[in-house]
Amino acid sequence: MGKLIVHQDKIQDVAALVKICPFGAMENRNGKLEINAACRLCKLCVKRGKGVFEFVETEAAVGVDKSAWRGIAVYVDHADGKIHPVTFELIGKAKDLAAKINQPVYAIFIGADINHQARELLHYGVDKVYVCDKNELRAFNIENYAAAFAAFISTVKPAAILVGATPVGRQLAPRVAARFRTGLTADCTVLDIRENTDLVQIRPAFGGNIMAEILTPHHRPQMATVRYKIMDAPSRLDEISGSIVSLEVDEFTSRVEVLSVTRKPKEIGIENADVLVVAGRGVKKKEDLQLIRELAEVLNGDFACTRPLVEGGWLEPKRQIGLSGRTVRPKLIITCGVSGSVQFVAGMEHSEQIFAINTDPKASIFKVANYAVVGDLYEIIPKLIAKIKQGRIIA
């Protein structure tokens, strides 16, 4: 890594220098040239700045003592003690990662009156469940929860921590990561670990055009969030293994007071559908979505779409599948005119059966499909609907 140094004494024309940067990273502040956060370190200014700019390599980051940090931890996401299913999925992944480096699996459970629910985690092969059960943690107060989480990290020193990308997890994980000045990778789709305990965090980047492999080699703990239905949950075991450990926090000092909690009415969304029919850009106009709805109806399923259709105002955002929409895992998903971008596939690739219809034989969606049909959806779907209604295909 490196940094740019601006030699202010060599500047003759600030306005001319500002125009050099194609990213708008240079600003004229009262005659002084400053570089802002838009800088990409492309070094174009060094080449064209006539000695005003200098790129200096910085010293390599001092490595952390990795041997002092052991184990894979999972944050237990819950509402009033009812554990969110994403927690069990993350426990399954944590067990896979921990087995590769021969280290334990921990769970951190924060809340009030949760000791009984904590025992359920022992049916999933967790080595230790750390429970911080305090009245101050009855409602989700982010400052109190962050304090309890930080106490766990300081006490246990886990090498990596997995957090569900839920409304609570998305708030809590970055706050805790900032406390320990460590990295946090959001919405990971693949996780692996190296022998030296470096967590390999993989997620789509640059609009889904590449799969970025992210590591945090110089800091601990390593933190990642994962969406619900991305990982596989382990089977519940009849016997109990592991132990429950009480986690103490000296005191809670919060500037936040939770006055009341208003529960949002529960919606039955596309995440819960066993059968989904998905419209992509192959659907030519908004009125043609009726064809998608009809196929979903005869299959006793629901319908969804890709991002362009939401951006075009054809359907509401809650029907979008992908990393910028919802993650689904139905028994059957039928994609109609969907090209299969990385962002979309990451939100549905774990479906049990994937049936894809596309006119392009080289469409990316066919790489993950169990059944691929090359053809026009306007010809295929009406025939499919007719056969289902005739009883030749059983929904």
Q: What is the pLDDT of residues 56-76, one digit of tens each?
A: 876 555 678 999 999 999 999
**262 belongs to a structural domain:** no
Whether residues 337 and 235 fall in one domain: no
What DSSP state is assigned to residue 123? G
**259 belongs to a structural domain:** no
**317 belongs to a structural domain:** yes
Whether residues 277 and 317 fall in one domain: yes
Mean pLDDT of 8-36: 90
**φ, ψ (nearest 5 deg) of residue 357:** -120, 125
Question: Tens of pLDDT along 3-12?
Answer: 889 999 999 9
Residues 6+ apart with CB under 8 A from 97: 72, 160, 191, 192, 193, 199
Whether residues 365 and 306 fall in one domain: yes
Q: Which of 239, 249, 302, 299 lies closest to 271 in space, CA to CA? A: 302
User: Angle at the Cα of 317 (from 285 to 321), degrees rounded to 5?
Assistant: 85
Question: Tens of pLDDT along 251-306?
Answer: 888 888 888 888 888 777 899 899 999 999 999 999 999 999 999 999 999 999 99
What is the Cα–Cα distance from 39 to 43, expressed in whole angstroms?
9
Whether residues 49 and 104 fall in one domain: no
pLDDT at position 1 is 58
**20 belongs to a structural domain:** yes
> How many CA atoms lie less than 13 Å away from 374 in the CB half-sphere?
7
Whether residues 219 and 284 fall in one domain: no
Report the domain count for the chain: 3
**92 belongs to a structural domain:** yes
Domain that holds residue 143: 66-246
Helix (H) or strand (E) holding 200: strand 199-205
Q: Are the C-beta atoms of residues 239 and 103 closer than 8 Å to each other?
A: no
pLDDT band at 376, cuts 50/70/90? very high
Residue 393 has pLDDT above 70, yes or no: no
pLDDT at position 61 is 52
pLDDT band at 395, cuts 50/70/90? very low
Residue 367 has pLDDT above 90, yes or no: yes
Whether residues 237 and 277 fall in one domain: no
**252 belongs to a structural domain:** no
Question: Tens of pLDDT along 321-338?
Answer: 998 899 999 999 999 999
Full strand arrangement of the beta sheet holding 210-214? 190-193, 199-205, 210-214
What is the Cα–Cα distance from 378 to 291, expressed in whole angstroms?
8
Q: Which domain-ending residue is among 57, 79, 102? A: 57
Residues 6+ apart with CB under 8 A from 60: none
CATH of residue 347's domain is: 3.40.50.1220
What is the Cα–Cα distance from 333 to 277, expressed in whole angstroms?
6
Whether residues 104 and 241 fall in one domain: yes
**φ, ψ (nearest 5 deg) of residue 314:** -75, -40
Q: Which of 110, 129, 111 lies closest to 121 in space, CA to CA? A: 129
pLDDT band at 145, cuts 50/70/90? very high
Q: Which of 306, 347, 305 lies closest to 326 in space, CA to CA? A: 347
pLDDT at position 222 is 98
Q: Which domain-ending residue is among 10, 36, 57? A: 57
Helical segments of the chain, H only: 14-18, 44-48, 85-101, 115-121, 142-156, 167-179, 289-298, 307-311, 342-346, 377-390
Q: Which domain-ending residue is among 38, 57, 76? A: 57
Mean pLDDT of 355-379: 96
**230 belongs to a structural domain:** yes
Whether residues 276 and 212 fall in one domain: no
Whether residues 94 and 47 fall in one domain: no
Whether residues 358 and 210 fall in one domain: no
Q: Which of 167-181, 206-220, 278-292 has the lowest mean pLDDT?
A: 206-220
Q: How far is CA 18 from each of CA 6, 10, 24, 26, 157, rounded to the nearest angstrom?
A: 12, 14, 8, 5, 46
CATH of residue 39's domain is: 3.30.70.20
What DSSP state is assigned to residue 301? -
Question: Tens of pLDDT along 240-250?
Answer: 999 999 999 98
Mean pLDDT of 139-144: 94
Whether residues 11 and 123 fall in one domain: no
Whether residues 236 and 287 fall in one domain: no
Q: Which of 35-39, 61-65, 129-133 has the lowest mean pLDDT?
A: 61-65
Mean pLDDT of 109-126: 95
CATH of residue 178's domain is: 3.40.50.620
Q: Which residue has the higher pLDDT, 62 or 207?
A: 207
**253 belongs to a structural domain:** no
